[in-house]
Structure 1
């Protein structure tokens, strides 16, 4: 009897084990696989769409219909961002271990987390540029843009700090494995500064008491982005000297190196104009006065010209390498 009971128990355990094994072997749906493999790189599509919408809105040479095209791109960007954000949220909920493992072991995946807040910035910029200036917009939507900006600032600083901590505590990156994607979080902080200046300068019915803290904080985060980018530039030069250019399919990623310099150049100009506009109305202390605002506007143009210099160098270098790789027919499509 005892042997029979034991046999029955063994059979039951084996049945449970086989059931669990069969369950593990069940084919997964394409949707679940797509969710688990969903990458932050998809937010680059939202980023680029948003940048195009902003450029069309701010282009000095306007023509009939360009504003409408800018609004269409803004709405399209909103749809893209919403879809990608939901997909990434599902991955965080359903497959958190997979996401953490990917970010902790892959320098590119970790760096591209910065694409999410950058895409967010393109949306909030258009809230200030387009929505607040609509006939039904006004100051309430400037406040909405500012709230969105502060949320983005907190997230972007958290991402930048996390990237530095992971780089310093793990061995996923060194002077020989560094790639241009590492600069994305710091492109994000300079973009943060640029968008802060834009919503304070170009939104409708801007409140100086709300705008000035945004301007001051934007200068600070701009400094974080640009000066950390200088360190990355130096490290990447060491990589180029040691191991040469990245693989041919990844040579377009060299254009990422233009980002911090270009965004910083734009940011200091826009922030200078915003300071000139709002510091006088704020009028507190010795620095937040109209004279300081005028000085920042002038110095911003000078600094922008200096920053454009290094950006132009990397642009020429990147274009040359891309053209040479294309001439040799070594390109292969990739989102990076």
Structure 2
């Protein structure tokens, strides 16, 4: 036990790995899951692309389960250390939202992949799982910001893009409902409650994301810039707007597909309201994608600036934070895929395909460096390598 009452780092390599196993590892299944969804829905399909999508889906499930078990083991064995990390490290608490985000991707793929092949029962299963995820999401989107305010140091200079992950979780759950309602073949009586709750989740997530955007912009104007390694986190700023765009488009499509007409209750949930609600929702999705485009471009420039010194390439030290690029890029791409469908636009179809190709390359780059970091121990807290800790 250390003087401050915390558990001292253990000497055993296996226990030291668990001791240093942060919630940032959940960024990996989070980024993997969105690629599965994109590959399944991409307009320009080729033989084997759906199979590749299923591989990414299976990998997401495996990664999520394994990482969750390891993190739970860390919580059990080093509970004081974890509690201290959650109350002092913003990324530790924020990345817990990635559990819900990854879970949503798994649910989406159930509706997209299993319902057409194995029947409507899987749509009901996806719908049921979605409600369990909503409960998790509400806890995250309310609880984590509360922790920020009560426990972390005050002031804009301490605000990071990672603080938006809980908002992204809410928007991702809303997007998941749009997919389940459109592809899950469930009744309007089941769809409408999910659609209404999803719009509420968007109301919880998107305004908060905008407020945090403004505060982070104030931090940048004050020249309080993140360190080079955390430059990757700037891509997270694109996440709420990309996912918000897709959620609004998907929910608008579900409304116009017959959910409101089939439910037909009250003054609002009617066949007459379906078209205006659906069109406004889709138009709002287009506007959100525009805001996402700004932050996507801004993040690209920030990363390029952080990786260069003048005109010379100097690189950015690799860490798990680099996975922050994958999911926001993915939801921005997924929204572009959806815009290509609802607008029947070749421009969006081509652009989303180009984004997907680059995204897969970024995923492979991250995975290679992650495997390298596991092998040499640098990402596991074994700074002296595996052999010297034996």
Check whether TM > 0.5: yes
Q: Specify the alignment match of 1:331 in structure 2.
A: 316
List runs of 5+ in structure 2 lacking aligned partners.
1-6, 322-390
Q: Specify the alignment match of 2:272 in structure 1.
A: 291
Q: Specify the alignment match of 1:235 in structure 2.
A: 215
Give the C-alpha shift of residue 141 in structure 1.
1.1
Matches within 5 A, 1:66-85: 66-85=49-68
2:249 is aligned, of 269, 272, 276, to 269
- Helix, strand or coil at the partner of 1:132: helix
Give the C-alpha shift of residue 325 in structure 1.
2.0
Verify the 8 A CA contact 1:107 1:173 in the aligned structure 2.
no
Alignment partner of 1:210 is 2:190: yes
1:113 is aligned, of 83, 96, 101, to 96
1:260 is aligned, of 235, 240, 260, to 240
Verify the 8 A CA contact 1:190 1:267 in the aligned structure 2.
yes
Taking structure 1 as reference, are residues 100 and 26 closer, same or farther at Cα in structure 2, changes over 3 Å only?
closer
Give the C-alpha shift of residue 26 in structure 1.
11
1:153 is aligned, of 127, 134, 140, to 134
**Distance in 2 (alpha carbons) for counterparts of 1:171 and 1:54:** 35
Q: How many residues align?
A: 310
Verify the 8 A CA contact 1:108 1:182 in the aligned structure 2.
yes
Q: Give me the CA root mean square deviation.
A: 1.7
Give the C-alpha shift of residue 27 in structure 1.
6.0
Q: Deviations over 1:223-259 (max 9, x none)?
A: 1110000110111011112233211111111010001
Give the C-alpha shift of residue 92 in structure 1.
2.2
Q: Deviations over 1:77-104 (max 9, x none)?
A: 1111110111112122222221111010
Alignment partner of 1:126 is 2:109: yes
Alignment partner of 1:41 is 2:24: yes
Verify the 8 A CA contact 1:111 1:163 in the aligned structure 2.
yes
**Distance in 1 (alpha carbons) for counterparts of 2:19 and 2:139:** 23
Give the C-alpha shift of residue 29 in structure 1.
2.4
Q: Specify the alignment match of 2:73 in structure 1.
A: 90
1:168 is aligned, of 128, 149, 154, to 149
Taking structure 1 as reference, are residues 189 and 26 closer, same or farther at Cα in structure 2, changes over 3 Å only?
closer
Give the C-alpha shift of residue 164 in structure 1.
1.9
Verify the 8 A CA contact 2:10 2:16 in the aligned structure 1.
no
**Distance in 2 (alpha carbons) for counterparts of 1:25 and 1:100:** 14
Verify the 8 A CA contact 1:187 1:259 in the aligned structure 2.
yes
Q: Deviations over 1:194-229 (max 9, x none)?
A: 1110111012x3222111111110110011110000
Give the C-alpha shift of residue 28 in structure 1.
3.9
Alignment partner of 1:52 is 2:67: no
Give the C-alpha shift of residue 291 in structure 1.
2.1
TM-score when normalising by structure 1: 0.88
**Distance in 1 (alpha carbons) for counterparts of 2:238 and 2:155:** 21
Q: Specify the alignment match of 2:342 in structure 1.
A: none
**Distance in 1 (alpha carbons) for counterparts of 2:10 and 2:90:** 30
Matches within 5 A, 1:303-314: 303-314=284-295
Verify the 8 A CA contact 2:24 2:91 in the aligned structure 1.
no
**Distance in 1 (alpha carbons) for counterparts of 2:170 and 2:66:** 24
Give the C-alpha shift of residue 107 in structure 1.
1.2
Give the C-alpha shift of residue 105 in structure 1.
0.5
Q: Specify the alignment match of 2:202 in structure 1.
A: 222
**Distance in 2 (alpha carbons) for counterparts of 1:80 and 1:61:** 28
Bigger relative contact order, structure 1 or 2, given CA contacts below 8 A and separation 6+?
2
Q: Deviations over 1:131-157 (max 9, x none)?
A: 2222xx222211111111111111111
**Distance in 2 (alpha carbons) for counterparts of 1:87 and 1:176:** 32
Verify the 8 A CA contact 1:248 1:330 in the aligned structure 2.
no
**Distance in 1 (alpha carbons) for counterparts of 2:232 and 2:15:** 31
